[in-house]
A and B are shown apart, each in its own frame.
Chain A
């Protein structure tokens, strides 16, 4: 039976799904490239960076009509960090790992506690950077797969489900980090949780279909925001008391952005983006950022100023992922046949390359900023360093 079943399983996959020799060569090249990267010491370490600014070439501009007028975006920012301060703040942290903890993928930096929080398999840990100590926050539960983890301020939230796919019996777990109390809400069918302050935004699958909801983490009071009808290519964004819910309108080739006030759940604004493929929506400093993807998978970075309602395109080099805080933009850009993260300063609708990450020779991935203004990127070298770069005070 074992041989017979192996054959049947094998037949269920198309014959030409295999690792070709060309792909093997590509893997070898990529492995050698990454392995030659810079290797830091295990302890948290301050890294010097070169000082200087280079202006990069700017990408093309889209020619389609926009719902809002396009204007030069506002260049005001909260507090500018001198380049020498950027240089001083770069920090590489290595979480001690064994052969069996190499599967750590998503690492969250809780700036308030100074902890890196991460999921490894079916467990969640925190690693305090200063004390260099690891704490098991959530032990393994064999019958539930952890599907989402988010941490911010005093809250750690994760969803557990019997299936990694969207199941019908997922649970939401809320750990108050200040008193170690955990509340579990069963059958909430929640996904894509996002914390802001003491509130949680999530997408729920109830009998009425997928809908975006808001949960007060102190009182567990729930507010329904919006019932999705077509879905979207980005999850919702939630920051500074505002929630942005995307909804694709396939028939007319646009994506609507619905902006809700988290205080009362009221719809306060609607925007229409001229693309049905809008990814990675972010909210920062009263501005919405998004990545518009065209039919050739080229990305365009746009910003909407919520004060004026004006939408602008940011001239950016070719990129696949981004993160933004104030006037700092981190982009995943092509380099040497692979991709790495570069830091840019936004000036008007242009970006200027900053050298703050140049010292790091290994490939960098997954750019994200904390609310407090620290850029977090993952190194892809041997020790899987997590790099932290403070861009604003």
Chain B
């Protein structure tokens, strides 16, 4: 593929999906710079793998798949774990807020998002992919490498669990 054509396709993909991918990544990692770094890596991988794509649908699935996977990798990294470790140790330490806590505090203004943010990751990610990224069940199954039925089950359970929380918080979510 000619370089100009690859440049055009990358520009098009960044224009169409870049904004959503950065915000999706931020919803996972709660860190602006990290979210941008993740999305940068995603688009670079897209660029160097461009010749492997045939249809527009697979591009969208590919970009979301790599983004979600990179977010999972971030959770596995020591950089993230040490924050988790510090949070676990917080009861024994002088009180001071982490960047994550600050981000979460901002989220408290949005009770629906807060309820979803408290869901287990496997439910939270399908809700973000379905409602925010507007991926179909089939596309989410490709992104997460799980079956369609598992996607549907997680969506239902995620909604149910968040719904319980909404009810507890007195929020009408239906």
On A, residues with C-beta under 8 Å from B are 1-2, 5-6, 8-14, 17-19, 23-24, 26-28, 30-32, 34-35, 99-100, 102-103, 105, 121-122, 140, 142, 145, 147-148, 162-166, 191-192, 203, 205, 209-210, 228-235, 250, 380-382
Nearest B-chain residue to A234, judged by Cβ: B78
- With A6-B134, A27-B39 known, 8 other A-B pairs at CB within 8 A are A1-B174, A8-B112, A9-B27, A9-B116, A9-B128, A24-B15, A99-B52, A162-B120
B40 touches A209 (CB 8 A): no
Question: In angstroms, how far is the closest chain A Cβ from the Cβ of B60?
Answer: 13
User: Quick check: is B99 within 8 A (CB to CB) of the other chain?
Assistant: no
B interface size (C-beta, 8 A)? 69
Contacts A12-B110, A209-B92, A382-B49 known; A24 to B132 CB distance under 8 Å?
no
Interface string of B1-39 (1 = CB under 8 A from A): 001001100110011001101110011000010011001
B11 touches A145 (CB 8 A): no
Of B48, B52, B75, B150, the contact of A164 (CB 8 Å cutoff):
B75
Residues of A within 8 A of B122 (CB): 145, 162-163
User: Quick check: is B76 within 8 A (CB to CB) of the other chain?
Assistant: yes
Measured in the bound complex, the distance between the Cα atoms of B117 and A382 in whole Å is 36
Question: In angstroms, how far is the closest chain A Cβ from the Cβ of B22?
Answer: 5
Measured in the bound complex, the distance between the Cα atoms of B81 and A260 in whole Å is 22
B10 touches A142 (CB 8 A): no
B112 touches A145 (CB 8 A): no
Nearest A-chain residue to B145, judged by Cβ: A121
Measured in the bound complex, the distance between the Cα atoms of B78 and A192 in whole Å is 8
A209 touches B39 (CB 8 A): no
Question: In angstroms, how far is the closest chain A Cβ from the Cβ of B97?
Answer: 14
Between A and B, 23 residue pairs with Cβ closer than 8 Å are A9-B27, A11-B110, A14-B26, A14-B106, A18-B19, A19-B22, A27-B43, A31-B44, A99-B58, A100-B145, A103-B65, A105-B73, A145-B72, A145-B121, A147-B75, A148-B76, A162-B120, A165-B75, A203-B85, A209-B88, A228-B89, A232-B85, A235-B81
